[in-house]
Structure 1
């Protein structure tokens, strides 16, 4: 099947963006001895912005789903083989990269063809910005620790997750819908759910639960008011 020119161009732009992102992370790791956790966060945050690019370019859902499947296969291979160590180190006891790729596919399946890409974006960007910010703040300034279901977190990191998630939701709702007072309620409740889900991150499962369940909760809570 031959794709229209604009779709080919869109795919090329997304592929170029991801290629540059991974190349930069690999250069930082190999030539500047950047910490592997830093390079993973660069890819984590950068890759999340692809959903905005896909939304803007109106990329069809089947292409996003194919990309999700392909990324999932690469993530599984990189767990066992030295493929892109800047993304996922060999033998690292986390399937976060795999769950991240799967969450994009699941959210695309749930919302994209229903003309609701904003909820796909909300789920992915909560994970992208909220989780990454929580990790960075928690590692640097997280002094007050707590344990939840065998996961150790900091209150500083969790608070950051809550605030950043709420901001992400409000920004997207503001640009998609006419402003309503209840957006604040929806954002705060969804951010709370996301923060609770993020506090349990054994083997990286939060990369799946946070975006998928947060987006679903946001969708239904918003339509409760509409």
Structure 2
């Protein structure tokens, strides 16, 4: 089938789906939430056929662009909002989940590189597990808990876990030679991860994070034996339990759970060396940075996501192409975060210092400690002198750029915006470090 014909076919199916759900809604047969989830499940079912329709990612990205444009138009164009808003966005919430959906599908298709199981599992989780969690929680949810933006239920989270577990086991069984004990444990791990991420979902980001991480899990986990997989499941449980009881004054419950999941992801898709940089950041925060009068602010999940912004991408890249040098740009991203946090803490704890002194001390701390421990863990031959020096320059330039971008270091006007500026700065620094890296 030609790509153009495939695009027309998919658009036709999606249009028929939305018109059908709209007709059901106008007759009073379905409510707003059920309508939205029917569209999600229908879209996901259509997307599962992409490997049979398309051979290259280009047409899938075209479809993703059309879908994103449509979602945004429905939100902001009055006529479209009146016609289709009840199908795509009638549930009142500040979320971009519908926009992330097609982007996640296109990313999964691109990263899967033709492996059906690697593509199908993330899309199935996105389409069916998320919908099951919302619908079960709404209809039968009795045991409530406080999430980032609203109350959720244990019953809904259990539905996400169960549907993900079953879907992954079926997909792994049909499209891979993995034996059944490994299938069961892979499904358990991915189901637990998806349920925990959905539990702390923030503004629909689970629609982007879960599929991208699932691509890495599906590429890496089938290579492991069941004892290795059981070990990973136990480590996930221990990390999550530890983080939920750690530093309650500094992080809220969603941020602590998110931090535990992120550490597990780094270790699970990499190895123990991927935990060194976050541990160094944590130790430096306590031991090397000045205390803040009145104590630091209590942070939420958005801060944790920004801290892990670069790391998530490099961890998935390591699962996609192991041993390709991803650990160094990952470390540079964490080092950039460390430098920015240090300069903010020095601006608050040493307000009489010249800003250049804040910059110099923060840079020496971040580059010196992170760089030396990287060499100690990986060996002096793991990194060329050029790569180390260029990495130090990148972190220094990134830190200076952040200080210019965010003039109110000690008292930010918008802490939420500050964290996202920091996340963007760290991502750009890690990308620059990768571009300048030499063997």
After TM superposition, the score normalised by the length of structure 1 is 0.87
* Cα offset, 1:92, TM superposition: 4.7
Equivalent of 1:45, from 41, 55, 71? 41
3-state SS of the aligned residue for 2:37?
helix
2:413 corresponds in structure 1 to none
Does residue 144 (structure 1) correspond to residue 143 (structure 2)? The answer is yes
Aligned length: 220
- Give the equivalent residue in structure 2 for 1:96: 97
**TM-aligned CA deviation for residue 214 of structure 1:** 2.4
Q: Structure 1: state its 5+ residue gaps.
A: none
Offset from partner CA, 1:200-226 (integer Å, 9 cap, x none): 222211111122222322322223349
Distance in 2, Cα, partners of 1:67 & 1:136: 27
Q: Matches of 1:39 and 1:163 in 2, distance apart?
A: 22
Of 163-172 and 151-160, deviating more is 151-160
Give me the whole-angstrom Cα distance separating, in 2, the residues matched to 1:62 and 1:225. 35
Quote the Cα distance in structure 2 between the aligned partners of 1:117 and 1:62.
17
What is the rounded CA distance, in whole Å, between the counterparts of 2:72 and 2:92 in structure 1? Answer: 11
After superposition, residues 56-71 of structure 1 pair within 5 angstroms as 56-71=52-67
Q: Are 2:182 and 1:186 equivalent residues in the alignment?
A: no
- Decide whether the 8 Å contact of 1:193 with 1:214 is kept in 2: no
TM-superposed CA distance for 1:7, in Å, is 4.1
Q: Deviations over 1:73-111 (max 9, x none)?
A: 222222223422111239752211101121112112211
SS in 2 for 1:173: helix
Could you list the per-position Cα deviations for residues 48-73 of structure 1 after superposition, in whole angstroms to 9, with x for gaps in the alignment? 01122212334532101111121112
CA distance in 1, matches of 2:74, 2:93: 9
Q: Relative to structure 2, which stretch is displaced further, 85-94 or 21-30? A: 85-94
Task: Choose 1 or 2 for highest CA Rg.
Answer: 2
Structure 2 CA distance, aligned partners of 1:220 and 1:127?
Answer: 19
- Provide the residue aligned with 2:31 in structure 1: 35
The equivalent residue for 2:207 is 207
Measure the CA separation in 1 of the matches of 2:89 and 2:171.
30
Q: Which runs of 5+ in 2 are unaligned?
A: 227-439
Q: Residues 143 and 217 (structure 1 numbering): CA distance in 2 closer, same or farther, change over 3 Å?
A: same
Report the secondary structure of 2:145's partner residue. strand
How far the C-alpha of 1:6 sits from its partner, in A, is 4.6
1:133 corresponding residue in structure 2 = 132
CA distance in 1, matches of 2:36, 2:117: 25
Equivalent residue, structure 1, for 2:160: 161
1:27: how far off?
A: 1.4
TM-score, structure 2 as length reference = 0.47
* CA–CA distance in structure 2, aligned partners of residues 51 and 90 of structure 1: 23
Give, in whole Å, the separation in 1 of the partners of 2:145 and 2:206. 17
